[in-house]
Amino acid sequence: MGKNRGFGRIKEERKNLSFFKIFQGADLSSECMRALPYSFMKSISSREFTYKMVIRAQWGSSWEVAISKNPRFHYMDKLGWSQFVSDNALGENEFVTFTHTGHMCFNVNFFEQNGKELVVPRKPPSMAPSSGIKKEEGESSYMNVKKEDETGESVGGVELDARKRKAVESKASKMKKSKSKKVVTSVEIGESSREAEYKFKTSMKKKRKIEKVTNGVPTFKITVRKSYLKFLAIPKRFEEKHAPNESKVFTIHHSEGKGSWKVLCLVRQARTIFSSGWSKLAREFPLNIGDRCTFQLIEPTELLLTIKKDR
């Protein structure tokens, strides 16, 4: 019966839109990892789409993850996604399927590196065997305090409140001393408050600038030359960070949804180029000498091509 129910579930889910994620690479929270596939988003109607998705595991746990958009690139926000990855202790070469059940709600199935499906939640890797004992002791202490508060038969609750107040007062005193020490240090080195404020604002501007570059969609731009109509050499800076280590077929999408082309990304020792299939794209898109092209990486092997015509 269990086997038949599982087969029925798979058969039913095949009717729904779905996508998958393979957990590879050092940064499991990168924008590429959090991206929603371009083809999937094209298939979602405006009535179904919301900027918040709900992810549900088969054992009942669920996560709410906000959706953001960067040009034509929809992706899951880092905070909710990182919580989902952490709670399920997901790691290298594990596989997760997302099946859309309607209104941006998804059922997920987890598969380990050996192909085995997870049907019960796993413990986070940081949890030690003794932590269960500590948890039981903590719960027992909490229940005892609660019971004493309710019956009024013990003064433990009063003692506990006194200890809490003492701890808060001690913490406030330490913070006050620390703040006073920082002010004295600032005066001793001859740094005025205005200079400190200027340095703080400058550092925040630099931080925001770095975050903007880091969190942006990987992009490169070229101006079409005559030789580019036959093949295209990928700029070295983009190649070093985002090109594959071996030759692969890329899908390049028209920015206005007018078509897609399969193009071979040929990895060579000297340069990485778009070769087989590129001349067809240049002819059908079409590309002309002088056109300014912008390529955005929306999936590890998918690009969105936007063209500004030379006038």
Give the pLDDT confidence of 14-32 residue by residue, as tens digits: 568 888 888 876 677 788 8
pLDDT at 205 over 70: no
pLDDT of residue 253: 94
Query: Tokens for 262?
Result: 């399969």
SS3 139: helix
For residue 269, CA distances in Å to 42, 192, 195, 235, 237 come to 37, 56, 51, 14, 15
- For residues 173 and 250, the model is more confident at 250
pLDDT at 109 over 60: yes
pLDDT at 213 over 90: no
**How much of the chain exceeds pLDDT 70, in percent?**
65
pLDDT at 65 over 90: yes
The overall average pLDDT reported for the chain is 76
pLDDT of residue 162: 62
d(CA 40, CA 57): 20
If pLDDT is split at 50, 70 and 90, which confidence band does 157 have?
very low
pLDDT at 261 over 50: yes
Closest CA to 109 of 193, 13, 200: 13
pLDDT at 48 over 50: yes
pLDDT at 302 over 80: yes
**Phi-psi label, residue 222: left if phi above 0, alpha if psi -120 to 50, beta otherwise:** beta
d(CA 278, CA 146): 71
- For residues 196 and 231, the model is more confident at 231
pLDDT at 201 over 80: no
- For residues 67 and 72, the model is more confident at 67
Closest CA to 78 of 188, 198, 214: 214
Please tell me the total number of residues recorded for the chain in this structure: 311
- For residues 72 and 115, the model is more confident at 115
pLDDT of residue 26: 62
Query: Tokens for 268?
Result: 């060579």
- For residues 13 and 237, the model is more confident at 237
**Residues paired with residue 304 on neighbouring β-strands, in sequence order:** 253, 296
pLDDT of residue 139: 44
If pLDDT is split at 50, 70 and 90, which confidence band does 252 have?
very high
pLDDT at 219 over 60: yes
Closest CA to 61 of 138, 136, 124, 132: 124
DSSP per-residue letters across 87-125: HTT--TT-EEEEEEEETTEEEEEEE-TTSPEE-SPPPPT
